[in-house]
Amino acid sequence: GYGSYGGLMLNGSVSERNLFGTGQSMSLYANIATGGGRSYPGMPKGAGRMFAGNLSLTNPRIFDSWYSSTINLYADYRISYQYIQQGGGFGVNIGRMLGNRTHVSLGYNLNVTKLLGFSSPLYNRYYSSVNEVVSPRQCSTPASVIINRLSGGKTPLQPESCSSPGAITTSPEIKGIWDRDYHTPITSSFTLDVSYDNTDDYYFPRNGVIFNSYATMSGLPSSGTLNSWNGLGGNVRNTKV
């Protein structure tokens, strides 16, 4: 397809349910956009450019047992008008059949995202710590001070120098707002899934029930604050049911 923002957009996928005759399944997905957004001064070039890819491998019967496994690898790259986003991660899931109708699984997912190339210090501020200067103090020297120095035969001061005598601040120093840096946030979660299926036919069921329930917890409980690092739990905590 084509869009004014994304430019030329292509996506495709390949899947195999019996990889090399092993009974395992594999899927590969990719989404690409060349970018068609206009570039303005100070903004990242190539707005709208994007790449997203995912590779998944599933073994429904590990060594012909009741156990199953799934591994996911994914990557993401996007350019917007405000910043550039790079990300990637992986997911691992181990499951077990409880009889012929019930399946339980436990999965872990880790995602790392990096933000850079901000078009404005105001955007950068909301991802920076209070110790990071995202925009230095801007100063100027009044014209009267420069004229007095010239009339006295002295070298004129640089107008942008904050250390110059008589200099005034035209723009204050801007720092981040958080207690730590969030340009590379890490999110991580555990998911417990339970499913039950007693339908009479896989493709065209007429009777029976299909039930699925899951609970996801992001971040590990700790005595620290919400934004503290929690090992494998990352720096975001929430629960979904």
Residues 144 and 52 in one domain: no
123 occurs within a structural domain: no
57 occurs within a structural domain: yes
Q: Which domain holds residue 147?
A: 137-172
* The token pair that represents 93 in the structure block: 């899931």
Residues 96 and 30 in one domain: yes
Q: Which residues contact 170 (CB under 8 A, 6 or more apart)?
A: 138, 139, 140
Looking at the structure of the chain, the number of domains it has is: 2
* Separation of alpha carbons 229 and 235, rounded Å: 5
- Say what the pTM is: 0.71
Residues 8 and 79 in one domain: yes
Residues 200 and 156 in one domain: no
179 occurs within a structural domain: no
Q: Which residues contact 94 (CB under 8 A, 6 or more apart)?
A: 67, 68, 69, 105, 106, 107
127 occurs within a structural domain: no
Residue 46 — left, alpha, or beta (φ > 0 → left; ψ -120 to 50 → alpha)? left
pLDDT in tens, the chain (241 residues): 888 888 899 999 999 988 888 889 999 999 999 988 676 777 778 888 999 999 999 999 998 899 999 999 999 999 988 889 999 999 999 999 998 899 999 999 988 889 888 888 888 888 888 888 888 877 766 665 555 656 655 555 554 556 666 666 667 788 888 887 888 888 888 899 999 999 998 788 899 999 999 888 876 555 554 444 443 444 456 666 7
CATH number for position 93: 2.40.160.50
Residues 86 and 162 in one domain: no
User: Cα-atom radius of gyration of the chain, to the nearest Å?
Assistant: 28
Residues 28 and 82 in one domain: yes
112 occurs within a structural domain: yes
Residues 147 and 79 in one domain: no
